[in-house]
Amino acid sequence: MKIGILSDIHVDINFMAGDSIVDGLASAIAGNGLDRMIIAGDVAGDHELTLATLEEIETATGVPCLFVPGNHDIWNEKHPAMTAWEAYDALKVFPGNLANGPQPLGEDWVAIGDLGWYDYAFGDPRFAVEDFDRMKIDNRLWQDKVMAVWDRPTQAMHRYFLGKLEAQLESHRHRQIILVLHVLPIRFFTVQPPDRTWRYLNAFLGSPAYGELALKYDVRYVICGHVHYRRQTRINQTTFICNCLNYRNQWYKRSAAEEIADTLKVIDID
Ligand SMILES: [Fe+2]
C-alpha cells in the first residue's frame, strides 16, 4: 500500500489564480499511484474551506485521504463566535479525520492521530509558564492565543490529546502503527538553533511527550507538520517525518504542481 505524506498546504494563503494547490496535489497522487494520502493538518485557516478542500482532493483522485486538524484548520478568524472545540468537532464530518478514531490500513497496519497541542517544553526553560501563557514576544502575538480558544489551559489541552492518543495506541499495540500529529513530537524538528525569538516561540510547536509515547509503543512512522520544515529522522525502529508544503514564498519551484511533486513523500507499507 503506497501512502503519500504532506502537510501545511494552506490553500487560502497559497491561493494563486491559475495555479491550483488541489490540482497539483491530485496530479502527484495519481502520478505516484497512491492508495492513501495523509495530510497532517493546516489545509486552510477556516474549517469550512478545509472540509471543502479535502472533499475536492478525494473527488479529483478517488484516493481516500487521512487527515488530522492543524491549528489553522480550527482558527476562528472566519467564525469569530466559534470556539476551537466547535471547529474541531465540525471537522469530524470528514470520514478520514483521525480525530474520529483509528483507521485500519490493510490487515496489519493502523493509522492513529490527532491535532496534538503544546506544553511549552520545547521553549527555553528560562521563561516561566506565565510568560508562555501570554503567547507574545516583543510585538509578535502567537495567533493561537486569539484564534484557537479552548475551554482549558494550554498545557491541559496537550494532556487531553496525549491521553486520547495513548488510549488508542494501547488498544492497537499489536498492530503496526502510523501516528499522525500536527504538532512536533521531537526537538530535532523545532527551530534549531533558535534565535532570541524562537527560544520563546519553540514552546508552541509541540511536545517531546508525543515522541516518547511513539517510542514507548514502538510506532513505525510518526508524521507531523506545523513548523514548515521538511525533515526526517529515525530513532530506534521509529521513523519521524515532518513534510510541509509551506507558503509560496518558501517554495523552491515556481508552480504548485512542481513544488508538490518535489515535496510529496511516499511510504510503502505493504
Ligand atoms: Fe500549524
Q: Please report, for the domain that includes residue 127, its CATH number.
A: 3.60.21.10
Closest CA to 161 of 84, 75, 232: 84
Contact 221, 237 (CB under 8 A): no
Give backbone dihedrals phi and psi of 36, rounded to 5 degrees, phi first: -145, 155
Backbone angles phi, psi at 85, to 5 degrees: -60, -40
Whether this prediction's pTM lies above 0.85 is answered by yes
For ligand 1, the distance from its centroid to the CA atom of residue 244, given in whole angstroms, is: 10
Q: In the prediction, which pLDDT does 253 show?
A: 84
Distance 142 CA to ligand 1 centre (A): 11
Cα of 174 vs centre of ligand 1, distance in Å, is 31
- Domain of residue 98: give its range: 2-268
pLDDT score, position 230 = 96
φ/ψ (deg, to 5) at 198: -75, -20
User: What spacing in Å lies between the alpha carbon of 108 and ligand 1's midpoint?
Assistant: 30
Task: Examine residue 193 and say whether the peptide bond preceding it is cis (omega within 30 degrees of 0).
Answer: yes
- What's the 130 CA to ligand 1 centre distance in angstroms? 22
Report CA(10)–ligand 1 centroid distance (Å): 10
Q: What's the burial of 67, exposed, middle or buried (CB within 10 Å: 0-12/13-18/19+)?
A: buried
270 CA distance to ligand 1 middle (Å)? 30
Quote the number of domains for the chain: 1
* pLDDT, tens digit only, all 270 positions of the chain: 999 999 999 999 999 999 999 999 999 999 999 999 999 999 999 999 999 999 999 999 999 999 999 999 999 999 999 999 999 999 999 999 999 999 999 999 999 999 999 999 999 999 999 999 999 999 999 999 999 999 999 999 999 999 999 999 999 999 999 999 999 999 999 999 999 999 999 999 999 999 999 999 999 999 999 998 999 999 999 999 999 999 999 999 889 999 999 999 999 997
Per-residue cell: 239: 521513523
- Cα(31) to centroid of ligand 1, in Å? 27
